[in-house]
Structure 1
Amino acid sequence: MRILLTGRGGQLGRALSRTLPALGELRALSRAELDISDEEALLATLQSVSPQVIVNAAAYTAVDRAEQELDAAQAVNAQAPAQMAEWAASRGAILVHFSTDYVFDGAKPEAYVETDEPCPLSAYGHSKLAGEEAIRQSGCNHLIFRTSWVFSGEGSNFVKTILRLASERETLRVVTDQIGSPTSTRLLAEITCAALSRRIAGGTYHAACSGSESWHGFARQIVWGALARGIRTSLTPDAIEAIASRDYPQSAQRPLNSRLNTQKLSRALGLQMPPWQDELHAVLDTLCSHDKA
């Protein structure tokens, strides 16, 4: 199986670059090697590699900046996936693509299922939804994994940010009325490989760790875990103040409920999603071991 992975330099791309070689011949490209918003470069790469599977881990993820950079967000999150899907449809290739909980408005009281009607609140959410729709309309064989609150010990993410701030500050304010399921890149990489190797039915799946938490609760767990592992911080969990979203103005509006129902994916793969706390502990263990090395 020839596999093309885009976005190798991002946190998800790094996790996938470690797991995908088990499935076949992998060509993994970073943004420096392939800017997927460059249509000519993307087409040339697709023709050169001629992949049987395209795994698109490249994305424009600057949620607030997307409000001012609409064209850039659309180019990466919508137009490039559309081009990949069109090529995949013409060659009989499979396209694996990652989307977001931000395609929903967060008004539903329960966890979202795949058939719920999207209603994005932000330019970022609109761009990701446009990418999804283009893939589905292309008719290519595809797997779209919607996920939420992605974290790892690599790259830029909430865990790394909180650990940095905890080493610099004695107080912190974090929103408590946005609820979601923190999800590790390790799990997403494992799910991707399992879905491809088991050849599950194409379509859209929600992929996230089990359980849910607020950003405030997530931050407290990160600091608790760091302190338990001897990671030095200036901040204690009790010094993290809970605030409402209205008290933390941002350019882009976020959904208050980002929980994703993963039963469809669990049935397809025959596995249960691990608790997000377990995945967080594994990431903190890895970071702690690196600090001591």
Structure 2
Amino acid sequence: MRMRVLLLGEETLLGQSLLSQAAAEDIVFLQVGGNEACQPAAIDGWLDDLAPDAVINLAHYHQQFQLVQASGEQLEVLRSFSERLIEACAQRDLLLCMLSNTRVFDGEKGTAYTEKDELTPIGEQGATQAALDDLLRQRCRRHLLLRFSWLLDASGDGLLGRLINQLQASQQVALAEEWRGNPTPVQDAARVILAAIKQLDCDSEVYGVYHYGSAEVSSWISLAMGLGQELRMLERLPQEPVIQPVAYSEQVAAQFEPQNAALNGRRLLHVFGIKPRAWRAGLSELLQPLAD
């Protein structure tokens, strides 16, 4: 890779997956270790010292995608760090890759969201994310904003971990039947980030906002059923769970997540040629630690 790419958030599960896939292609990213990586005051210093051509910001991946509700303090840390990073990259005309989520939409649309849809955020976290998305587009000429739906990783307190705990805690589980999105294993998200950065390294000025979701759009119940099958194969569930469908409005997630979290990734496919992979194929890899 010709560009010097700085990776922030290398310690996150998404960052680790990205590093692993990059290493398999002999691609090395610049890194900033320790607590300094999340300090807004340190940003100008390490941008000047390391002199990267591009920055991939995954520093707050867990708060953005895995927590039911980020605290006010966590949101302030996310906001202040991201705003300073955007301004610093804009001043140096650096390529800045950042992530976004579906909380920037209210979920009332009947079909999958595209990059042309107006941002209508839900909750405080959605409003914070939408403001950062707008700031990135306005300030950074060279920007890549990748928006994902349901990112699944192996964190115990994350989206997938909480669902596993539900299935293992009781034979009968109440789940929302009207909640739709794109389950996306973290390794698939890392694949997409790496593929996009490699093309931008070839001087392709295809900056902008892009959506990605693993194939196919699924209900939360369908995800739970597929997960249940995998857990049974690993002998982590004694029997098939009985799922009781309930209205989405009865779920805690309804306060913070859009009911329709489905994304249309056609633009990413047409511009970058990145094809979606089936989310079911990535479940076994995510659950492998349970079998070890």
Instruction: Give the TM-score normalised by the residue count of structure 1.
Output: 0.86
Deviations 1:164-185 (A, max 9, x none): 3433433322222111011121
The CA deviation at 1:93 is 1.7
The CA deviation at 1:24 is 4.2
Q: 5+ residue gaps in structure 1?
A: none
**Cα distance change, pair 250–203 in 1 and its aligned pair in 2 (3 A):** closer
Deviations 1:233-269 (A, max 9, x none): 24523x2322112222458332111110000001122
Cα distance in 2 for residues equivalent to 1:23 and 1:126 = 38
Range moving further from structure 2, 155-164 or 101-110 = 155-164
State the secondary structure of the residue aligned to 1:97.
strand
Superposition map of 1:138-177 within 5 A: 138-154=139-155, 156-177=157-178
Cα distance in 2 for residues equivalent to 1:269 and 1:149 = 21
Aligned position for 2:267: 264
Cα distance in 2 for residues equivalent to 1:189 and 1:100 = 15
**Cα distance change, pair 252–28 in 1 and its aligned pair in 2 (3 A):** farther
Range moving further from structure 2, 203-212 or 268-277 = 268-277
Aligned position for 2:235: 231
CA RMSD of aligned residues (A): 2.4
Q: How many residues align?
A: 282
Deviations 1:25-53 (A, max 9, x none): 423356x53352x3213333323322211
Cα distance in 2 for residues equivalent to 1:178 and 1:168 = 21
Amino acid in the other structure paired with 1:14: Q
Aligned position for 2:21: 19
Aligned position for 2:47: 46
Deviations 1:143-194 (A, max 9, x none): 1000011013356433233333433433322222111011121111111111
Cα distance in 1 for residues equivalent to 2:116 and 2:76 = 23
CA contact under 8 A between 2:96 and 2:140: conserved in structure 1? no
**Cα distance change, pair 34–218 in 1 and its aligned pair in 2 (3 A):** farther
Instruction: Give the TM-score normalised by the residue count of structure 2.
Output: 0.86
Aligned position for 2:278: 275
CA contact under 8 A between 2:57 and 2:97: conserved in structure 1? yes
CA contact under 8 A between 1:53 and 1:94: conserved in structure 2? yes
State the secondary structure of the residue aligned to 2:116.
coil
Amino acid in the other structure paired with 1:218: L
Query: Does residue 116 in structure 1 map to residue 117 in structure 2?
Result: yes
Range moving further from structure 2, 170-179 or 186-195 = 170-179
Identity between Structure 1 and Structure 2 (%): 23
CA contact under 8 A between 2:67 and 2:159: conserved in structure 1? no
